[in-house]
Structure 1
């Protein structure tokens, strides 16, 4: 009873506060629901993609695995990159000829297979995936494509946690570690700038030149403005090498005073 007596004078204030923050609370709930739905759809997509590719492809043949991915994407929602981006990615790999590649964001293993099939015999791919299910399925797809564990490493963690631990995984034959000459970012665009800064801080980018590919599945992806501002503010180290719809290649060279074309 006493609670009601105390609450009655406060009702106008409670109503005013609830009205004032109703929009913000509703927006927050909507974002949380959208994130949950994306996560659920992503897990369903990963499972269904894996089941299709695993059962339809020729095991041990990387090209067959990729063709089966493309066949699935023709008729189903897919997290695979578009054919245009896939061809552009192949061109970059052939031009850069990297021996050490970092992939942030695995997405069923499609891009991992594309990268691995173009690396030299002594090349090595390190791929980082936050979701354990996606990491396990992606690793199985890589093995189905015919690659061996000596050619790649899957790290199941956030990119922020993985980057400081990368150096041992870049060591050829347990010798001196090599710097990265190619980095593919296809995870959370809001992490693109912090991760780029972390890679530079850990001195993991090849100082003589490293191509960083940014995949953005939405042209309005949050985080792109920040990384673009960072690149333009440091013309001595960074330049935009090429730009397509949904993919950008930036070039890093320590102390570079010229712009790459």
Structure 2
């Protein structure tokens, strides 16, 4: 008798578990993916040593030559974990810079200066780069590499702190002589979980150039859900955002304010 009671009870419990799993399988799968992505980020960050990267680049590159600095970064990355953008994404970024031809550039996340050097070497004489790095040690190492590459402090500024704290203060660092409006180009290569929040903060603070600003975002984890969130936001706001280009590991979002006059003329047409 007890056997049948246990059997019936176990069967009922098993059915309940199966039903619950079936009903919530999508939620469970998402949580598993997010947990795995979080673990991969921790492993990746822990494996990169900024001091080792800096020491190698500083000692092996030709000082005063930006291209040599980038090539040395790539040489280090061939044998060690590295946070550098790398030559493939570097070429794609170069193409965007040549197309946009910016004079005001913002970089979120230094990674010892690879992106900074890559951007600075293509800016015009009047161009200026503001780079933001949360880690003070990485910021110091990156600034030294920028100077090693041959650039002067008049061409760039390194700000240390969390992006959420620095973004509201950025207006005070923009040169009035460079014209009105915000940044022409923004490179995000920090914490992907902050990309959407920081993009909206830049818009809110009117730091994205109204007539057009390209925001380039680097993704090193193919399972990163932040990419889906960004695409969903772009789809929900076609009035000012659109995806301009995309390849494996990089997304370019274009921001442009639609004036009231332009909107009314389209309606008239």
Q: In structure 2, what is the equivalent of residue 246 of structure 1?
A: 249
CA contact (8 A) 1:50 1:137 kept: yes
Aligned counterparts of 1:39 and 1:84: Cα–Cα separation in 2: 21
Q: 1:91 to 1:34 in 2, by over 3 A?
A: closer
Deviation at 1:132, TM superposition (A): 1.0
1:76-109 alpha-carbon deviations (Å, 9 max, x no partner): 2211113211000000001100000010111110
Structure 2 distance, partners of 1:36, 1:226, is 21
CA displacement 1:183-235 (0-9 Å, x = unmatched): 01111111111101100000010100000101110111132222211111011
Size of the alignment, in residue pairs? 228
Separation in structure 1 between the aligned mates of residue 201 and residue 219 of structure 2, nearest angstrom = 20
Counterparts of 1:30 and 1:179, CA distance in 2: 37
Match of 2:29 in 1: none
State yes or no: 1:155 paired with 2:156. no
Partner of 1:200, secondary structure, is helix
Which of 94, 100, 104 is matched with 1:100 structurally?
104
Root-mean-square deviation over aligned CA pairs: 2.3
1:105–1:185 contact (8 Å) kept in structure 2: yes
More divergent stretch after superposition (176-185 vs 187-196): 176-185
Q: Which residue of 1 aligns with 2:130?
A: 126
The partner residue of 2:55 within 41, 51, 54 is 51
Q: Report SS of the residue matched to 1:251.
A: strand
Residue in 2 aligned with 1:179?
182
2:211 matches 1:205: no
Distance in 2 (alpha carbons) for counterparts of 1:33 and 1:89: 28
Who is 1:68 aligned against?
72
- Give the distance between the partners of 2:109 and 2:182, measured in 1 at CA: 20
**CA distance in 2: counterparts of 1:222 and 1:186, whole angstroms:** 16
Structure 1 residues 137 and 177, CA gap change in structure 2 (3 angstroms): farther
Aligned with residue 47 of structure 2, among 41, 52, 56: 41
* C-alpha distance in 2 between matches for 1:177 and 1:247: 28
Q: Which runs of 5+ in 2 are unaligned?
A: 1-31
In the superposition, the TM-score normalised over structure 2's length comes to 0.79
In structure 1, runs of 5+ residues without a counterpart are 1-26
Using the alignment, how far apart are the partners of 1:125 and 1:183 within structure 2?
A: 10
Q: For 1:75-90, list aligned pairs within 5 A.
A: 75-90=79-94
Moved more, 196-205 or 216-225: 216-225
